[in-house]
């Protein structure tokens, strides 16, 4: 059975919603659908993305989750208006978080397909996903430091996956990285021809959705437990507190105490 809902707000329209939310054959998909702006995310899109992710997590018919970007770019990062508002303090920074940035909070496998540019928040989405497929011409960049923006979620996510040397080099240089770099560092699991990204990611999601649900959930929970991500409630509370502390330290120009 196939169901589909299109979530739109001021960043989209009835004809072109900013976030697509779909359930098809056991796979719940979330598609960033702002191709005219290279899928740059806005505060409202964060809310819509969170709502779609929570819906898939709660839906027993969904056994795997697929994330894609519509158009030539996966995600160009934060919308410039959002970045300006965040810097001026006119938007709540806590509203600019995606729930699944806390590892282990979503129990279902998350597969992400990346085509074209993947910048800032797009990289964070990839880091928070369980399995990532990208096209050969995909490019990645983390320009936050050069723009004077404290990239709180990205270092926390990347440290678990890429290693300190890779993420520090990417953050401190802001240089564009290619699909070979993404494959070498472990940001992505597989590099395919550009035109095969969506189909490959979708086929993988469908394959995983066909596996025994309870066993899949157990395997994912064991992996995250081994990484110290066992208690979702504690993760949410600790993660929010840590992000808030780090953001405030960046605003104040102070250095946060390590290990807290």
Does the pLDDT value for residue 6 go beyond 60? no
pLDDT in tens, 22-63: 999 999 999 999 999 999 999 889 999 999 999 999 999 999
How many Å apart are CA 134 and CA 179, to the nearest integer? 7
Top-confidence residue, 169 or 89: 169
Tell the burial category of 10 from Cβ atoms under 10 Å away from its Cβ (0-12, 13-18, 19+). exposed
Instruction: Please give the average per-residue pLDDT across 167-194, as a whole number.
Output: 97
Residue 43 lies in a domain: yes
The count of domains in the chain is 1
Q: Classify residue 235: in a domain, yes or no.
A: yes
Which CATH number goes with the domain that contains 168? 3.90.226.10
Q: How far is CA 66 from the centre of its chain?
A: 11
- Is residue 258 a part of any domain in this protein? no
Q: Identify which of 67, 81, 68 has the alpha carbon closest to the alpha carbon of residue 37.
A: 81
92 found inside a domain: yes
Q: What average pLDDT does this structure show over 208-222?
A: 96
For position 94, what pLDDT does the model report? Answer: 54
Confidence of residue 150 (pLDDT cuts 50, 70, 90): confident
| pLDDT > 50? residue 226 | yes
Residue 205 lies in a domain: yes
Nearest to 2 by CA among 21, 22, 20, 24: 24
What is the three-class DSSP state of 18? Answer: coil
Q: Which of 103-112, 202-211, 237-246 has the lowest mean pLDDT?
A: 237-246
Q: Is residue 224 part of a domain?
A: yes
Cβ count within 10 A of residue 248: 13
Domain extent, residue 189, equals: 2-252
């Amino acid at each position: 059975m196939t169901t589909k809902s299109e979530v739109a707000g001021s960043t989209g329209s009835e004809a072109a919603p900013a976030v697509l939310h779909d359930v098809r054959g056991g796979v719940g998909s979330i598609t960033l659908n702002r191709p005219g702006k290279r899928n740059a995310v806005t505060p409202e899109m964060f809310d819509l993305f969170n709502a779609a992710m929570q819906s898939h997590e709660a839906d027993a018919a969904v056994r795997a989750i697929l994330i894609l970007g519509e158009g030539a770019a996966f995600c160009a990062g934060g919308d410039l208006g959002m970045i300006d508002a965040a810097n001026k303090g006119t938007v709540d920074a806590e509203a600019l978080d995606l729930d699944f940035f806390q590892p282990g909070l979503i129990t279902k496998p998350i597969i992400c397909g990346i085509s074209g540019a993947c910048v800032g928040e797009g990289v964070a989405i990839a880091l928070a996903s369980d399995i990532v497929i990208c096209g050969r011409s995909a490019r990645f960049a983390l320009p936050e430091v050069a723009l004077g923006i404290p990239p709180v979620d990205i270092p926390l996510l990347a440290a678990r996956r890429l290693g300190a040397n890779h993420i520090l080099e990417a953050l401190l240089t802001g240089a564009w990285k290619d699909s070979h770099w993404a494959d070498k560092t472990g940001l992505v699991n597989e590099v395919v021809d550009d035109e095969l990204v969506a189909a490959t990611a979708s086929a993988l999601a469908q394959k995983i959705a066909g596996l025994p649900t309870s066993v899949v959930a157990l395997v994912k929970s064991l992996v995250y437990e081994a990484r110290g991500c066992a208690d979702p409630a504690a993760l949410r509370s600790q993660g929010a507190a840590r992000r808030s502390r780090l953001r405030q330290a960046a605003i104040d120009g102070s250095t946060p105490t390590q290990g807290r």
